[in-house]
Each structure stands twice: as C-alpha cells, then as structure tokens.
Chain A
Amino acid sequence: ILNVEQSPQSLHVQEGDSTNFTCSFPSSNFYALHWYRWETAKSPEALFVMTLNGDEKKKGRISATLNTKEGYSYLYIKGSQPEDSATYLCAHGLISGGGADGLTFGKGTHLIIQP
C-alpha cells in the first residue's frame, strides 16, 4: 500500500446501530495515525492521534485501534446517533526523514445515520 486507503467510501447506518470502518496505510517509516471528523462547511476536528502499535483510544461512543505492523486502523462508533453523521478522515504521518513532514490523508468514509 502506497497511500492511505479508507473503506467503505460511504455508509448508511440506522440510528442506534454500531458501525466500524477501516484505514489502511504504508507500514514502513510509521510515525503517527490521526482520525478526524469532518462535518460539511466546518473544519476537520481531531478525534484521535495514535503512535504506538496496539494503541486503543476512546472518546465517548467512538473508539479506534491501531496495528502498525500490518498497516491498518479501525474506527468504531457504538450506538450511532444522527449527530455522528459526518465524513471520517484517516491520516498517516511518517518519521522524520522518511518522507514528507505532513499528514497523508485518505479520501474519508462518509457516514450517514438514518433516524
């Protein structure tokens, strides 16, 4: 994998259901993995920053895991609510000298929660 890939591209979920989506990234020269929540007409808002293999982070009903050896991260949302509707972006950062200094973003997973 050369780029950051997110799947699925879009997802419709019933209110109250739980859901998860995937981010795949290059495993070499890994430094950090970020998740952002992006609502229309607003700026991306940070959810999690993970740097260690096996990291698990949680914020309310949202959690994320990280596997740097195989190059993937999962984002989980438990008991989806309408306000969870947004695009969820995954972004990967390389170690200094391993490539560009900035984050490489995926195209995002567009989540729609249906009441």
Chain B
Amino acid sequence: EAGVTQFPSHSVIEKGQTVTLRCDPISGHDNLYWYRRVMGKEIKFLLHFVKESKQDESGMPNNRFLAERTGGTYSTLKVQPAELEDSGVYFCASSLVGLASPLHFGNGTRLTVT
C-alpha cells in the first residue's frame, strides 16, 4: 500500500507570505492528523480530522493556520501570513482506528520562514 505522502518536502518563504502544505493519507484511513516539530522541541499535535470533519483543532497555534480536508481524502494546511516562529517540520499522519492503531507518518514538510 502507498504510504502517507506530503508535498512539498521543503518550502522556504518570506515572513508575511502564504504557504499551503498538502497531505495524502493512506487510502481508507479516516483519521488524519497534523503535527509540527520546531527545532529542538518535541513533536506537537495540531489537529485531527475524521473523514472531512475537524474533530479537534486545539493544537492549532492561532488563526493564521487553516486546515481543510475536502471530501475526506487529502488535506491541506495553509499558513497565512507566515511568521518566523512558524518554521519547523510539519508532519501529517493517518490511522485506521484513531489512537488505538498506529499512526503512519509522512516524511514531513520542512518549512523555513525568513
């Protein structure tokens, strides 16, 4: 089976610009998660979709971040406008049965805001 894919793998943008990250989960996985790792810190939860519905977005840092999962397939995470502190690696993960099953992670998108 194809794994979780993320695009782009790297993105360098200037402060104030907009960036959209994309995640394609494993086919059939209703649960999709976004996480972020800032350099030197632990991986932190951003939000959770079940199919197209946002179940929990308590980890989203602020309203500059917008996640969507139209049709319950792929998901996008938009940062607008980007700030320096948004730099980090953004991981997407999908699972079959929420947290009772393992999360399958994508390779991440490394975002650098200059």
Residues of A whose CB lies within 8 Å of any CB of B are 4, 31-32, 34, 36, 42-46, 49, 51, 89, 91, 93, 100-108
Contacting pair A102 B59 (CB below 8 A): yes
Closest CB in chain B relative to A45 CB, distance in Å: 8
Residues 70-114 of chain B, each 1 if its beta carbon lies under 8 Å from chain A, else 0: 000000000000000000000100000011111111111000000
Q: How far is the CB of A14 from chain B (nearest CB, A)?
A: 28
Alpha-carbon distance between A104 and B33 when the two chains are bound, in angstroms: 12
The answer on a CB contact under 8 Å between B45 and A104 is yes
Check if A43 sits within 8 Å of B56, measured CB to CB: no
A103 with B42: CB separation less than 8 A:
no
The interface of chain B, by Cβ under 8 A from chain A, is 4, 33, 35, 41-48, 55-56, 58-59, 91, 98-108
Q: Enumerate 5 A-B pairs (CB-CB under 8 Å) in ascending A order.
A: A44-B91, A46-B103, A51-B100, A102-B46, A105-B44
Task: Find out whether the CB atom of A102 lies under 8 angstroms from the CB atom of B48.
Answer: yes
What is the bound-complex CA distance between A64 and B58, given in angstroms?
30
**Residues of B close to A4: CB separation below 8 A:** 42
